Structure 1
Amino acid sequence: MPDYDRLMDSEVRAFMARTALHYPPDAVDLTVDDQRRVYNAMCADFDVGYPDGVTAQDRTFGGVPSRVYSRAAPVAGTVFFCHGGGFVVGGLDSHDSICAEFCAGTGMQVIAVDYGLSPECPFPRDFEDAWAAFQAVCAETTGAIVLCGDSAGGNLVAAVAHYARGRIDGRISGSLLIYPGLGGDRTRGSYVTHADAPGLSVRDMAFYQSLRSGGQDRTGDPRFAPLQDTDFSGLPPVVVLTAEFDPLSSDGEAYRDAIQAAGGRAVWIEEAGLVHAHLRARHMSKRAATSFARMVQALTLLREGQMTDIA
């Protein structure tokens, strides 16, 4: 097992220590209600409020509770955002200031979606909520839509992009997937090297998947695991941003390769020295702040369907 205390810099170690004050490494052993309680407390601790000029309004899209972030002089385009949390925890408040900062940094309105969580709403309910909200956003907005999600949310927006082909064409200008779980091969790569990484372990992932699947075999369903699709053609440009110390990192590489092999445009960036969920570390880690700036840059470029300047 890698010596993460040695490999992580002092700022990332401080982030992990602050996270553990609320959300312990063995949180999956708690009841779901307790997991949500400690996760919400952790997210509240990291919340930094809204940048000047950003406001938010709660409403629904396609019957799904959502939150719309905007600026007084918005740039054309919409970021459609799905939050992380293993499909079990999280919501509109857990990623509130993150979405507000995406709005401030890109100028676009950001629409965050509060899809149903497991075990109350197991798959395919989470996907159906995301798809219903996406359809409504397409109907009620004009201009480009950039899909964005972290972790479980990255899975959902990738699934939306796959499912949209032939159903809603021409609206998605690109996708930003932030350390997503896409259903890759767990016998190789980062799944093995970083199986017990701080922030997310393979054991954690197995717990989340068991709740989300409802005990059913979902193998081969790209709405559940986009990497298990048989067709990667016709997808909008994709940027996948992962963390070095994360069992999910290899999913980014595999997804990029699959899209490029099908003739599409995809970039994979692995952030050195960072861990899963480093979005919350953006105000206490220089590495995480640089990663966040790269996310804002990617969203901005993807709005125009561009990727060449992402670095």
Structure 2
Amino acid sequence: MLISDFIARFEAGLARLEQASIQDARRHYDDLCQSFAPADPKGMTVADDYVAGVPVRRFCPAVAPPEQIVFIHGGGFTIGSVRSHHGVAASLADQLNREVVSINYRLAPEACYAAMLSDCINVAQVVKPIALVGDSAGGRLAMDMAPLLNKAMSNQPLLGLIYPPVNGLTEQTLGPDGPLLSRQDVVLCLLPLCPALNSPCLTPAPASQVEVLAVEHDPLTLPLETTVARWRAEGVQVGYHHAAAMVHGSLHGHAMLPEMQNAWQDFCQALRSRLPR
């Protein structure tokens, strides 16, 4: 698939959300994202469950070590679920050869950011993951929960971030508009839901080992690259992976988009190389 075809198909799907109720919009978004997902890897077991009262979906390869990964989906804090990111979580479990626990945290407007963060922390404190991986808004949640988990767990989890929003996002610091995510989307939708994004304070390094995946056409990439450079200067071990010509959300089409697939595999292999053996 060409990236232009992916964008056109995704934009057409998003147009259905504009006049829908929030519940219908969430269902449409889940169906849209799932339409790009490949079949589950052979031998993988998928099961819905509850951890600490929070719904989760477990993805377990046929043969895997006991350590687990926590995955936090994206969707701008208002949409997205374990269904929308099923394909991403299944691929992550397959490539890391670990069970992945995908969290179905509460969403806005019903829940505030603190409640979303609480859901994720409560699950992680039970699972005790060796890594946290977050996509977009889920990447921000992973960044904010990692330091809190570091205080409660003896082993600091590895952190994987997929085009997350960092602090200090303004019209001056954002990069150019990108398909599927504009500067206006960030300013009007993301910033009001996560107060820290408005903070002029520099985003602190959330972990001692971080792998980052970004895409070329995304207003979040420029501030993210600036933050990665600062973390590296501070001595944090940060791997950075960049998908040329790709857009925010194109991870859903990783099985169809060669550039995204290559960057995704590089990101996953870098994570796997840092995991305990």
Q: TM-score, normalised by structure 2?
A: 0.90
Specify the alignment match of 2:10 in structure 1. Answer: 19
Which amino acid is the alignment partner of residue 68 of structure 1? Answer: R
Which amino acid is the alignment partner of residue 20 of structure 1? Answer: E
Deviation at 1:22, TM superposition (A): 1.3
Q: Is the 8 A contact 1:182 1:227 kept in 2?
A: no
1:193-272 alignment to 2 at 5 Å? 194=176, 196-209=177-190, 212-213=193-194, 218-219=195-196, 228=201, 231-232=204-205, 235-272=207-244
Query: Structure 1 residue aligned with 2:139, among 133, 154, 162?
Result: 154
Deviation at 1:269, TM superposition (A): 2.7
Which secondary structure state, in structure 1, belongs to the residue aligned with residue 74 of structure 2? coil
Query: Structure 1's 303 and 227: CA in aligned 2 closer, same or farther, altered over 3 A?
Result: farther
Which amino acid is the alignment partner of residue 163 of structure 2? Answer: Y
Q: Is the 8 A contact 1:182 1:226 kept in 2?
A: no
Which secondary structure state, in structure 2, belongs to the residue aligned with residue 243 of structure 1? strand
Say if 2:56 is the partner of 1:66: yes
Q: Is the 8 A contact 2:169 2:198 kept in 1?
A: no
Deviation at 1:179, TM superposition (A): 0.8
Identity of aligned residues (%): 27
Q: Which moved more, 1:40-49 or 1:147-156?
A: 40-49
Which secondary structure state, in structure 1, belongs to the residue aligned with residue 84 of structure 2? coil
Which secondary structure state, in structure 1, belongs to the residue aligned with residue 152 of structure 2? coil
Which secondary structure state, in structure 2, belongs to the residue aligned with residue 238 of structure 1? strand
RMSD value, Cα: 2.5
- Aligned pairs, number: 277
Gaps of 5+ in 1: 1-9, 139-143, 306-311
Specify the alignment match of 1:275 in structure 2. Answer: 247
Query: Structure 2 residue aligned with 1:175, among 159, 174, 180?
Result: 159
Specify the alignment match of 1:166 in structure 2. Answer: 151
Query: Structure 1's 231 and 87: CA in aligned 2 closer, same or farther, altered over 3 A?
Result: closer
Q: TM-score, normalised by structure 1?
A: 0.80
Query: Structure 1's 230 and 176: CA in aligned 2 closer, same or farther, altered over 3 A?
Result: closer
1:62-141 alignment to 2 at 5 Å? 62-138=52-128
Which secondary structure state, in structure 2, belongs to the residue aligned with residue 163 of structure 1? helix
Which secondary structure state, in structure 1, belongs to the residue aligned with residue 4 of structure 2? helix
Say if 2:275 is the partner of 1:303: yes
Specify the alignment match of 1:289 in structure 2. Answer: 261
